[in-house]
């Protein structure tokens, strides 16, 4: 990572939203998640965030895609969720 102004980096500690809003913060967080073998969590969060801006006609299809990719028992990029949550979602 190239040297960033300390004030910019300090903003990241205020909230996860500050971190994710900053391209350098997001990149560093993604790198850390990959080391922790949990990068799928940020991809899942991003997919859910994109739902907010979709036209209503696209929401159902997109929710199904998110479910198939992250939550189903045969998910291609599964996130780790509590078994009770997984059962409710199914």
pLDDT (tens digit per residue) in 17-46: 999 999 999 999 999 999 999 999 999 999
Distance CA(8)–CA(1), nearest Å, equals 14
- pLDDT averaged over every residue in the chain: 92
Are 49 and 26 in contact, with CB atoms under 8 Å apart?
no
Selected residue with higher pLDDT from 47 and 83: 47
Distance CA(33)–CA(9), nearest Å, equals 18
pLDDT for res 46? 95
pLDDT at 83 over 70: yes
The answer to whether the predicted template modeling score (pTM) of the entire model surpasses 0.95 is: no
Tell me the average pLDDT across 80-90.
Answer: 88
């Amino acid at each position: 990572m190239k040297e960033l102004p300390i004030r910019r980096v300090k903003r990241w500690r205020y909230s996860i939203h500050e971190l994710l809003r900053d391209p350098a913060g997001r990149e560093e967080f993604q790198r850390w998640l990959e080391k922790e073998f949990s990068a799928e969590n940020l991809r899942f969060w991003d997919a859910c965030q994109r739902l907010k801006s979709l036209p209503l006609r696209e929401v159902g299809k997109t929710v199904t895609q998110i479910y198939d990719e992250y939550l189903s028992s045969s998910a291609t990029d599964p996130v780790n969720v509590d078994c009770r949550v997984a059962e409710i979602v199914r």
